[in-house]
Structure 1
């Protein structure tokens, strides 16, 4: 598909800025590792010793949710898992008797899975009990493996020698939709006009956005997960945010696989885009080689993450809620204003970065909003995988730790 003459851009203006200082390859992994280790320390279970007393197991207190009216009619029902809380604490009596777990599935179905509490004193179980945030790291490793598969599967579907042509055609379809279709009124400003504006007299701003695009995506998202795990009112609220981000990823991965899309920076030069991130030596280590899927522009996960984070910040601010949720403390007006500022400013900055650096189209960001919203509405679908997780931890002879979400923060009397 060819673009009409009025949508093809002129050659981008010459950019004479000097490249930025290129960060060493080890810097970004160290940043991410530092965030994770700090979070593990901050969310550690205080007073629990990995090598301490191992005589018997006692479940730690956790918000339980409401019990069914007939939840204690049989011995099996002594161990109740709230379907709304994937990390619900085990009943102490059931743990002692090692009764099976009861999982409520859809359409009234129930499934009984092995009780792994007998493994609670194994060393790897006690390590996780001390540092429960390790479970969140495990979830994101699985998500990353799915991302890596998108590049392999997509290449297999479209053949390695043809996928770049398919991705370019999809990119041109997006430009046609934005510039020449009946919906062009929704996109009054063209992507290359945004980039040219920064390149022609506002290069300092573009240099900042280059570095922000490269560095904020992974460390920023990891930092958000770590922060919200520490500060969320309770683990059920945190789990909704985490499940939404994860499902947003999976929806996007499906699109990456079956609709590979070339970002603007990789289009032929006649379309007027410049790969400013690489021009500025600001490229992230996560954007090189086999680590990244270069044909995954649609939807924009940079903006998808930012949108999810922004919505979480609005919720956390409490501005649009009259009542507090369980475990929440009232926030002062300055803190509410701060969260709203982040909720609006962070997605706005990311949107500016992805367009100005020619890494995404406007439509990529719009679809990211759609995907993230759909993920939020459907995030409970992951609960159906809990029986599979029960069997996995049983096979690993492991007891899943009770989350420490918000424990130490609330113990300090925090009111953020």
Structure 2
């Protein structure tokens, strides 16, 4: 594609105009995994089931678990709504009879795992239910790690680098010349050059923000929301939305590899400021990391989902409250509302100014979030598989403790 078609020119950085970052620093590779692990295990402990012993069985424990069974909350890990057919777990209340599930309109009978509730690993899960959430996100991360391998295998003959570059240039062309151009009045290159010319210290900060906020920030939000959410159903809706957004994005990474602006040929004018600033995250390196996964931007997708959750809980656009929610004063309404809008806005500026994503990447991610929100119950089809997995490992599914500790302390989101 000729350069003149896109009207992109190499920026002339000479003398004092050349991008000079702050003195480079790079975290040791073990720091970021340690931070993420610390967040996860801290909230695993914080959301533990109190007055429950892993090592010993007592009548108190029995009472707790029996009350769980009576409400059916043990089998609501995927977030069933009251009245859903999937919530009809047991044929009768008789001990250990099969569960009844609705799968694609067909009733299937699956093993009842309550007989395994006294196994040590079942009791570990009952004590720390957040371990299940950690398991779900490990699956997400494993799926992402596979996208690079799958995409390279798919485009082995044509050459994935050339295909990804072609897709990246196609995105720039669509933003500038297609009917979608009305949504993109500002070019990515202009944003990056504005920072490089006049706000280099700010760009240095954004480089590190891009590398270091995404994973810890998203993990931290999931943990915090599990701790404070007014109900498990509300939490599960958000978690399923983010998970489905992940899977849609990961599938796109495989079939539509897209080169980020920073990796395009130099004549297009973009600078890889994150690597230039030695601010690359440990999550951005390694042979399993997909560097050709610009479309869509999961940095923005996660932040948009988090932001809309906070806007929802601000209560600005709602007249009624969920059970477990408290009426907020004007300060807290505006706090949640401003943070809810500010976080995705900050990430949008970050991903574009560092030349890691196109504006269209953020638009597609936004569409994926909306689709995932309205279709998130599609994950109910995996309930039978979850039942079979629990049966295979001889474990019983724990009841979630979402919001319990927070509400016990008088907190109300």
Structure 1 residue corresponding to 2:97, chosen from 96, 99, 104:
99
Q: For structure 1, which segment, 173-182 or 11-20, has the greater mean C-alpha deviation from structure 2 after superposition?
A: 11-20
Matched, 1:370 2:367: yes
Structure 2 residue corresponding to 1:24, chosen from 28, 32, 36:
28
Runs of 4+ in structure 1 off by over 4 angstroms are 54-58, 60-67, 79-83, 85-91
- Does the aligned pair in 2 maintain the 1:264–1:358 contact within 8 Å? yes
**SS at structure 2 position matched to 1:111:** strand
Distance 1:105 1:254 in 2: 24
Structure 1 residue corresponding to 2:400, chosen from 394, 399, 403:
403
Assess, with a 3 A threshold, how the Cα gap between structure 1 residues 46 and 160 changes in structure 2: closer, same or farther: farther
Within-5 A mapping of 1:2-401: 2-5=2-5, 7-11=7-11, 13=13, 14-53=18-57, 57-58=62-63, 59=65, 61=67, 83-84=80-81, 94=93, 97-107=95-105, 109-159=106-156, 162-401=159-398
Distance 1:250 1:172 in 2: 25
The Cα shift of 1:181 comes to 2.4
Assess, with a 3 A threshold, how the Cα gap between structure 1 residues 330 and 408 changes in structure 2: closer, same or farther: same
Q: Any idea what the Cα deviations from partners look like across 1:227-274, whole Å, max 9, x if unmatched?
A: 000000110110000000000000001110000000000001000000
**SS at structure 1 position matched to 2:292:** coil
The TM-score normalised by the length of structure 2 is 0.91
The TM-score normalised by the length of structure 1 is 0.91
- Does the aligned pair in 1 maintain the 2:228–2:412 contact within 8 Å? no
The Cα shift of 1:183 comes to 2.9
Assess, with a 3 A threshold, how the Cα gap between structure 1 residues 101 and 328 changes in structure 2: closer, same or farther: farther
May I ask how many residue pairs the two structures share in their alignment? 402
- Does the aligned pair in 2 maintain the 1:150–1:253 contact within 8 Å? yes
**SS at structure 1 position matched to 2:108:** strand
Distance 2:313 2:107 in 1: 34
The Cα shift of 1:374 comes to 0.6
The Cα shift of 1:204 comes to 1.3
The Cα shift of 1:111 comes to 1.9
Assess, with a 3 A threshold, how the Cα gap between structure 1 residues 43 and 389 changes in structure 2: closer, same or farther: same
Assess, with a 3 A threshold, how the Cα gap between structure 1 residues 329 and 165 changes in structure 2: closer, same or farther: same
**SS at structure 2 position matched to 1:397:** coil
The Cα shift of 1:326 comes to 2.4
The Cα shift of 1:8 comes to 1.4
- Gaps of at least 5 residues in structure 2 are none
- Gaps of at least 5 residues in structure 1 are 68-78
**SS at structure 2 position matched to 1:200:** helix
**SS at structure 1 position matched to 2:291:** coil
Distance 1:300 1:407 in 2: 34
